[in-house]
Amino acid sequence: MINMTSALLAELQQRELTFQIAGEDKLPEWLNGGSRSLYCGFDPTADSLHIGSLVPLLMLRRFQLAGHRPIALVGGATGLIGDPSFKAQERQLNTPEVVESWVEKLRGQVSRFVDFDAGAQSAVVVNNLEWTRDLDVLTFLRDIGKHFSINTMIQKESVKQRIEREGSGISFTEFTYMILQSYDFAELYKRYDCGLQLGGSDQWGNITGGIDLTRRMHGGQVYGLTMPLITKSDGSKFGKTESGTIWLDAARTSPYSFYQFWLSVADSDAYRFLRYFTFLEVADIAEIERADAERSGRPEAQRILAEEVTRLVHGDAGLAAAKRITESLFSGEPEGLSEPDLEQLMLDGLPSSLLPDRGLPETLTQLLADAGLAASGKQIKDALQRDAVIINGSALGMADNGAVSAVFAADKALYGRFYLVRLGKKKYHLFARS
């Protein structure tokens, strides 16, 4: 166990998962000293986490695998305030009821990534509302606020642009966010002997604030470690696609879509992402890269990445469903699918809808836009003009736009009831007659 621990930091560095470390000279020794408790916070800003939280979640697990105890903190209190770190604008407050319901959702999500049955290293999930709910203002100001220097706080990079930049601003509420998060660290130190906080690189200011507060309130030496911002080689933002954010909740982003997201990662990002998002050995990833480079044609990296991450987030069943759809649609002729195959695709989460017998829209542009294949009829129109709309194997053109009932005639349906519509190369939608 001791050896595993010293190996851990080295491995994280190999994976490029460490960005900044507070107390770097003493952290290895501390980790080597036995099983330690560490935490990472997740604020409820929606009813699901998205893949931006995946790296920290997996980090908790990496530490647990190395013999430490992970504490996942769900920010029932901080979520009520809003973290201003590197945010361009003041955020809208959510109601306590909403935040509370989100907290419960996140609690369940977070729990899937760590082990609660690991003896002394069993994971813990806490809510910082536990120790802030009954904190009264005067106590807060006298016992906690007194330890913070405004001079230091306004120097923090994370709020600097909000303070200096014209056209924005920061409320007192958001400004005090750092104090609340700092207090979390001090409190976890007291309650769980928690000595390390993990977070994204944007959390550096909040983490060091917590380290200072823990020292001042309890005289304790604690540490901080941040992970780099995940970037894409083309400079666009990681984790967003045409259809929006990639969520961890299967109801928001289906395992199929999730799998597809990772499958379409650029070559230049794939090996780095394998190191960030999987538990594959660094050496094995290097071997995959070498093999891909020697072979011509399509690399294996994306497939492995998609499989590993989908399994981590959606389990074996989710991965199986995702692969089933992918293989059906992208290998060979999708129109050659059997009737049970098509039924299975609907169950597996391929976007699908029922086609009413009567009352169909007059144009394909409207019907397909309503089905969610594109954001507007304009985009369908563009696709129609380029022969990019394919229904049951035949391409349609603008001439078909007004002929909805002919296109969806009963005798054109697969097995008398299915229409598989493809828009462009990757977007599919299955219509079934009711």
Asked if 123 contacts 71 with a C-beta cutoff of 8 angstroms, the reply is yes
What is the rounded CA–CA span in Å between residue 18 and residue 243?
30
Q: Which is nearer to RNA, 25 or 234 (CB)?
A: 234
Give the Cα separation of 405 and 360 in Å (integer): 8
**Residue 264 in the binding site for RNA (CB under 7 A):** yes
Question: Is residue 369 at the binding interface for RNA, with CB under 7 A as the rule?
Answer: yes
Determine which residue in the list 398, 400, 403, 417 makes contact with RNA, applying CB under 7 A: 398
> Which residue blocks in 219-263 are alpha helix, DSSP H?
255-263
Helices (H), 48-203: 54-65, 78-81, 96-111, 129-132, 137-139, 150-153, 157-164, 172-175, 177-192
Give the pairing of strands 194-200 and 223-227.
parallel
Among 21, 388, 403, 432, binds RNA (CB under 7 A): 388
Q: Which of 267, 335, 341, 343 binds RNA (CB under 7 A)?
A: 267
Q: Which residue has the tokens 């990496």?
A: 62
Bridge partners (DSSP) of residue 21 are: 225
What's the closest the beta carbon of residue 78 comes to RNA, in angstroms? Answer: 21
Q: Which of 213, 414, 423, 430 binds RNA (CB under 7 A)?
A: 423
Residue 134 within binding range of RNA, rule CB under 7 A: no
297: phi then psi, degrees, rounded to nearest 5:
90, -155
Given 3, 139, 376, 394, the residue binding RNA (CB under 7 A):
376
Least distance from C-beta 110 to RNA, angstroms?
A: 29
Stretch that binds RNA, among 102-110, 125-133, 205-213, 358-366 (CB under 7 A): 358-366
Strand order in the sheet with 352-355: 352-355, 427-433, 418-423, 389-391, 394-396
Site map (CB under 7 A) of RNA, residues 150-189, x = contact? -------------x--xxxxx-------------------
Residue 401 in contact with RNA, rule: CB under 7 A: yes
> Please, which residues bridge with residue 390 across strands?
395, 422
**Interacting stretch for RNA, rule CB under 7 A, among 10-18, 195-203, 258-266, 405-413?**
258-266
**Contacts for 215 with CB less than 8 Å, ≥ 6 apart:** 221, 222
The two structure tokens encoding residue 269: 């990002």
Per CB under 7 A, does 297 bind RNA?
yes
For RNA, the binding residues in 192-251 under the rule CB under 7 A are: 234-236, 241-242
Q: Write the CB contacts of 418 (distance below 8 Å, at least 6 apart in sequence).
A: 339, 342, 392, 430, 431, 432, 433
Q: Which stretch binds RNA (CB under 7 A): 13-21, 46-54, 140-148, 359-367?
A: 359-367
> Nearer to RNA by C-beta: 217 or 301?
301
Q: How many residues are listed for the chain in this entry?
A: 434
Q: Is residue 52 involved in binding RNA (CB under 7 A)?
A: no
Residue 423 contacts residue 388 (beta carbons within 8 Å): yes
Question: Judged by CB under 7 A, does residue 51 bind RNA?
Answer: no
d(CA 218, CA 221) in angstroms, rounded, equals 9
Residues 317-346 that bind RNA (CB under 7 A): 326, 329-330
Tokens describing residue 394: 């035949």
Q: Say if CB 260 and CB 321 are below 8 A apart.
A: no
Considering the complex, state which of residue 36 and residue 429 has its C-beta at the smaller distance from RNA. 429
Contact between 363 and RNA per CB under 7 A:
yes
Among 100, 115, 382, 400, binds RNA (CB under 7 A): 382
Chain residues binding RNA by CB under 7 A are 163, 166-170, 234-236, 241-242, 260, 263-268, 297-299, 302, 326, 329-330, 362-363, 365-366, 369, 374-379, 381-383, 386-388, 398, 401-402, 423-427
